[in-house]
C-alpha cells in the first residue's frame, strides 16, 4: 500500500512546528531551567565529564555545559528571530510587492536580487558584519538570506493570471489588487516563509559566530560555544557535542516545518 506523500509531508511539518514550539518554550525558560547563570565559572571541576551534578559535564572554565547550552540556545534563538524578520520583510514580502511594480523597475530589482542571490548567504553576512559591527550580526544574517527569498517570492507571482487581468479590466486599482494578493496569497505561504527564513538565518548566525563574526562575550550563542570548545573536541567531547546537538535539532525542526523537498535549498 502506497502512502500519500502529502499526508507524510503534513505530518513532518507538524512535527517540525511542534519541535520549534518546544524550543521556543525552552528559550523563554532558559534562566529557570539552567543550573547556573550564563557564563558562571567554576560551577564544577574543569572539564568534568557528564555526571549527576552536571548532566552535560563542564567546560575548561568549570562552566556547566547544560546551563551554557540553554543560555546559548536562547541567544541563538533571539538572533535568529530578528534575522528571520529581516529576511521575511526584505525577501518574501518585498519580493511579492516588487513583482507588481512597473515592469522596468520590477525587472531591475529582480536582476539585482538575482545577482545577490548568487553570493553565498554566509559570505554576504560576513561582509556586512565586517563593514559594520558584530552587533549587527542578526541584521547581516537577514540580509544574507533575503535575496533567495526575494527571488522565490517574485517568481511565484503570476501577473498575467486570468484573475489579475479580469480584476484590472473591471477597473480595480492595482493597489487594491496588491492588498488582496498579499492578504490571501502571501498569507497562504506565510508559515512556510517563516520556517524557510528561520532555517537559513540560524545556519548563518551560528556559522558566523563559530568563525568569529557573530556574538561576542559575554553574550554566547551556540556557534560561539562550539567554537570555544574546539580545542577540547577529542579530549572533552561533551563540551561541543551537546551544544552541537541542540543546534542541529533546532535547524532540523525549522527545516521540517518549512516542508522542503529533498535536495531543496532552505
For 238, residues 6+ apart whose C-beta sits below 8 A from its C-beta are: 49, 50, 56, 57, 65
Mean pLDDT of the chain: 87
**Is the Cβ–Cβ distance between 153 and 96 less than 8 Å?**
yes
82 cis-preceded (ω within 30 degrees of 0): no
**Residue 171 in domain:** yes
> Could you read off the pLDDT tens digit of each residue along the chain, which spans 266 residues?
445 568 888 899 999 999 999 999 999 999 999 989 999 999 999 999 999 999 999 999 999 999 999 999 999 999 999 999 999 999 988 988 888 788 899 899 999 999 999 999 999 999 999 999 988 999 999 999 999 999 988 888 765 555 555 555 566 666 666 666 666 666 667 888 899 999 999 999 999 999 999 988 888 999 999 999 999 888 999 999 999 999 999 999 999 999 865 445 55
**Residue 6 in domain:** no
Q: What cell numbers appear for 195 in the block?
A: 520556517
Residue 90 sits in a domain whose CATH number is 1.10.3720.10
State how far the Cα of 79 lies from the Cα of 94, in Å rounded to an integer: 21
**Residue 165 in domain:** yes
pLDDT tens digits for 132-159? 998 899 999 999 999 999 998 888 876 5
> What's the confidence (pLDDT) of residue 220?
92
State how far the Cα of 217 lies from the Cα of 38, in Å rounded to an integer: 11
State how far the Cα of 102 lies from the Cα of 165, in Å rounded to an integer: 15
**Residue 152 in domain:** yes
Q: Could you list the residue range(s) of the whole structural domain that residue 150 is in?
A: 13-27+64-258
**Residue 42 in domain:** no
Q: Is the dihedral of CA 12, 201, 122, 76 positive or negative?
A: negative
> What's the confidence (pLDDT) of residue 7?
87
**Is the Cβ–Cβ distance between 53 and 158 less than 8 Å?**
no
State how far the Cα of 80 lies from the Cα of 197, in Å rounded to an integer: 9
- Count of H helices and E strands in the chain? 13, 0
Residues facing residue 64 across a β-bridge: 58
State how far the Cα of 190 lies from the Cα of 88, in Å rounded to an integer: 9
pLDDT tens digits for 191-218? 888 999 999 999 999 999 999 999 888 8
Q: Output the CA torsion 212→214→215→216 (10° steps).
A: 40
> What's the confidence (pLDDT) of residue 262?
47
**Is the Cβ–Cβ distance between 85 and 79 less than 8 Å?**
no
Residue 120 Cα distances to 115, 186, 197, 236, 246, angstroms: 11, 26, 15, 33, 24
**Residue 44 in domain:** no
**Residue 58 in domain:** no
Number of domains comprising the chain: 1
**Residue 83 in domain:** yes
Amino acid at each position: 500500500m502506497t502512502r500519500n506523500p502529502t499526508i507524510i509531508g503534513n505530518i513532518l511539518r507538524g512535527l517540525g512546528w511542534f519541535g520549534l514550539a518546544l524550543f521556543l518554550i525552552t528559550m523563554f525558560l532558559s534562566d529557570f531551567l539552567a543550573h547556573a547563570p550564563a557564563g558562571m565559572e567554576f560551577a564544577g571541576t574543569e572539564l568534568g565529564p557528564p555526571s549527576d551534578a552536571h548532566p552535560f559535564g563542564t567546560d575548561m572554565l568549570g562552566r556547566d555545559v547544560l546551563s551554557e547550552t540553554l543560555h546559548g540556545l536562547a541567544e541563538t534563538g533571539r538572533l535568529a528571530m530578528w534575522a528571520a524578520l529581516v529576511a521575511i520583510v526584505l525577501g518574501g514580502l518585498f519580493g511579492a510587492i516588487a513583482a507588481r511594480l512597473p515592469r522596468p523597475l520590477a525587472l531591475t530589482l529582480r536582476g539585482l536580487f538575482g545577482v545577490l542571490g548568487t553570493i553565498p548567504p554566509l559570505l554576504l553576512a560576513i561582509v556586512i558584519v565586517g563593514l559594520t559591527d558584530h552587533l549587527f550580526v542578526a541584521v547581516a544574517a537577514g540580509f544574507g538570506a533575503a535575496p533567495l527569498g526575494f527571488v522565490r517570492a517574485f517568481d511565484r507571482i503570476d501577473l498575467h493570471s486570468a484573475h489579475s487581468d479580469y480584476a484590472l479590466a473591471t477597473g480595480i486599482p492595482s493597489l487594491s489588487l496588491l492588498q488582496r494578493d498579499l492578504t490571501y496569497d502571501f498569507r497562504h505561504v506565510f508559515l512556510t516563509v517563516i520556517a524557510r527564513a528561520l532555517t537559513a538565518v540560524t545556519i548563518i548566525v551560528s556559522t558566523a559566530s563559530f568563525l568569529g563574526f557573530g556574538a561576542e562575550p559575554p553574550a554566547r550563542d551556540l556557534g560561539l560555544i562550539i567554537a570555544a570548545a574546539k580545542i577540547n573536541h577529542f579530549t572533552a567531547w561533551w563540551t561541543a557535542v551537546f551544544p552541537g546537538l541542540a543546534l542541529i535539532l533546532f535547524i532540523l525542526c525549522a527545516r521540517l516545518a518549512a516542508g522542503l523537498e529533498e535536495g531543496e535549498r532552505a
